[in-house]
Amino acid sequence: MAESGANDWMMNVTGVIGLACFVFIIYAVVYIPQVLDNELFIHLMGMVEGVVIGNIFAFYYGTSSKK
């Protein structure tokens, strides 16, 4: 993609979806106190932080996607 100069739409979609998930998690933790009692939501927070932010964002926005 970098060599051809094409626009990577998947990078933009991933960024928007990941950011929306992160904003929703912050909203839920701050404004909905019952979510901290839900063990499934705690695991979901860890998955979003670990997978989306750590791996996917690192690939798309890290040095490996740029020339």
Tens digits of residue pLDDT in 6-44:
777 887 887 888 788 888 888 888 888 888 788 888 788
- pTM tops 0.75: no
Q: State the Cα–Cα distance between residues 41 and 60, nearest whole angstrom.
A: 26
Q: What per-residue confidence (pLDDT) applies to 33?
A: 81
Is 80 exceeded by the pLDDT of residue 3? no
Distances (CA, A) of 8 to 13, 31, 38, 46: 9, 35, 37, 27
Q: Which residue has the tokens 């997978």?
A: 51
CA distance 42 to 54: 17
